[in-house]
Amino acid sequence: MTDVTGPVRVRFAPSPTGFLHIGGGRTAGFNWLFSRHFGGQFILRIEDTDEKRYVAGAADDLMTSLRWVGITWDEGPDVGGPHESYVQSERHAAGVYRPFVEQLLASGHAYKSFVTEEELTQMRADAEARGIRAFRFRGPERDWTPAQVAEAEAAGKPYTVRLKVPLEGSTSFSDLVRGGEGISVNHADLYDIVLLKSSGMPVYHLAHLVDDHLMGITHVLRSDEWVPSTPYHVLLYRAFGWQPPIFAHLPPILRHDGRGKLSKRKDDVSANRFWERGYLADAMFNYLALQGWSYDDHTEIMTRDEIVERFTIDRVQPSPARWNPEKLLDMNGIYIRRLPTAAVAQAITPFLARAGLIADPPDAAEQAYVERLTPLIHERLKELGEAPELLEFFFHDVAPAGSPAIFTYDPALLVPKKMDATVTRSALKAILDALSPLESWSEGHLEETLRALAEQLNLKPGPLFGIIRIAVTGRSVAPPLFETLTALGKQRALTRLQDAAAAAEQL
């Protein structure tokens, strides 16, 4: 196992540029697990210095989505902590970053660049014309005298502040996910990155690093897309004379077909979509934990406490994970089936209310009816959001097409395969004759009566029960028949059978 000594402090620092991507949820989850396994702290920090991509309300969605999946933070924007504020724009307004920019300028590790965007574009074009495939910017101001800098400033020229990357040598760093092996990058392959925009706003490279240092972050667990940027961060740590945190770059999550990473444009990957559809937080947390990490080669279903106990970085694989929505769906179904039926009834109630099947909030009678119906679909649910479609015929009238009922069906569906309309009409009449006199409308009595009727009519139970199922639900696939008849009640069931018999006369 990779040696990790506590106490550890980790952070999840998303940019509020949209809804929380499920990959971001995985990164947050790994950080949370790491902190809980080693008894440390998990910090949430909002990195909103990219004004152009900022989306109003995105930070609230991020926090709501994280809390839904059961990820809470010890310090953050809404809970406070010893390092407030935990929002970078607020830290910028408070002047947190400027002294560090001045320190880098004074030490010669950074410089003011007066190159405009137009000039930078022309530089790229010139490099391409010379056959240079990878343009690596090195500002002419790197070697300016203080007098030249002062003259440009006096002329009112806007400037950015860039890191002065050494021209020779290399920078190395270690990565826990890659077994601690050193990753080395030649300085000739780097360029002078922007640290401070002309607007005075720090960019990610500087702001996150200053915040990580000031907040005492010991380990940085982040997406592997940041591997190419890490040499710059190491150079900055050295420039400040600070000890870098320990890095662990997490594997990417590929699409189900393996063709590229999960994409907001192509895939359903916004975290809020999953709780809107009725995924359980524990199921989602369990599945996210398996995106790049595993306990062994066969254990998949684990409680949150078990995952915390078992989570170690040495079991995180550097190779890409692959998102499998069907596997997630199946896992969610397993978690739903493990819930007590009463808990499922409570969980599906908001979905039924949203669909207009019951009031919001439901009255006592409606809630009791939901609890009565839940056992009929408990074993079939894979998403809680499926409940309205599975149960809607219990709340609205069902009748053959042409009637004013909300839900209608094609009367031709009443005729089973290998059976004609004449036999169907006779069967429906016999069904009504057998069920109408019943005084006990229980599952057992209904089953006994209808099986006896099938034998009497010399019909197989399947086709006969299929006729009844279409008549009372309007669909060929529905919850168990006898439980459905019982839940509908005698009068509603008989009314639907009578409507079906009338429609069958026209076939």
Q: Residue 3: pLDDT above 90? A: no
Bridge pairing between strands 398-400 and 407-409:
parallel
Residue from 327, 389, 325 nearest 355 by CA: 389
At 269 the three-state DSSP class reads coil
Task: Return the HEC string of 173-187.
Answer: EEECCCCCCEEEEEH
Catalytic-labelled residue, pool 197, 261, 264, 460: 264
pLDDT tens digits for 283-330?
999 999 999 999 999 999 999 999 999 999 999 999 999 999 999 999
402 — pLDDT class (breaks 50, 70, 90) = confident
What average pLDDT is seen over the chain?
Answer: 94
The Cα–Cα gap between 139 and 3 comes to 42
For position 129, what pLDDT does the model report? 86
* Most confident by average pLDDT, 128-142, 247-261, 456-470: 456-470
Q: Residue 171: pLDDT above 50? A: yes
pLDDT tens digits for 421-430?
999 999 999 9
For position 382, what pLDDT does the model report? 97
At 222 the three-state DSSP class reads strand
The Cα–Cα gap between 62 and 71 comes to 11
Averaged pLDDT, 19-34: 95
Q: Residue 178: pLDDT above 90? A: no
At 158 the three-state DSSP class reads coil
Q: At what angle do helices 341-354 and 364-377 cross, to 10 degrees?
A: 110
The Cα–Cα gap between 421 and 412 comes to 9
For position 2, what pLDDT does the model report? 57
pLDDT tens digits for 74-133?
999 999 999 999 999 999 999 999 999 999 999 999 999 999 989 998 988 888 888 887
Q: Are 399 and 408 in contact (CB under 8 A)?
A: yes
pLDDT tens digits for 330-376?
999 999 999 999 999 999 999 999 999 999 999 999 999 999 999 99
Q: Environment class of residue 399 by beta-carbon count within 10 Å: exposed (0-12), middle (13-18) or buried (19+)?
A: buried
For the ranges 132-136, 211-215, 327-331, which has the lowest average pLDDT? Answer: 132-136
Q: Residue 247: pLDDT above 50? A: yes
Q: Is the dihedral of CA 434, 438, 444, 448 positive or negative?
A: negative
1 — pLDDT class (breaks 50, 70, 90) = very low
Please give the distance of CA 120 from its chain centroid, rounded to a whole number.
38
pTM for the model stands at 0.91
> Is 460 an active-site residue?
no
For position 444, what pLDDT does the model report? 97
For residue 24, what are the contacts with CB-CB under 8 A and spacing of at least 6?
Answer: 12, 14, 62, 271
142 — pLDDT class (breaks 50, 70, 90) = very high
Averaged pLDDT, 424-437: 98
Q: Residue 472: pLDDT above 80? A: yes
Residue from 21, 11, 7 nearest 55 by CA: 21
For position 112, what pLDDT does the model report? 98
For the ranges 53-57, 81-85, 113-117, 395-399, which has the lowest average pLDDT? Answer: 53-57
For residue 316, what are the contacts with CB-CB under 8 A and spacing of at least 6?
Answer: 30, 176, 177, 248, 250, 251, 292, 293
Q: Residue 450: pLDDT above 70? A: yes
Which helix H or strand E contains 219, and what residues bound it? strand 219-223
For position 180, what pLDDT does the model report? 66
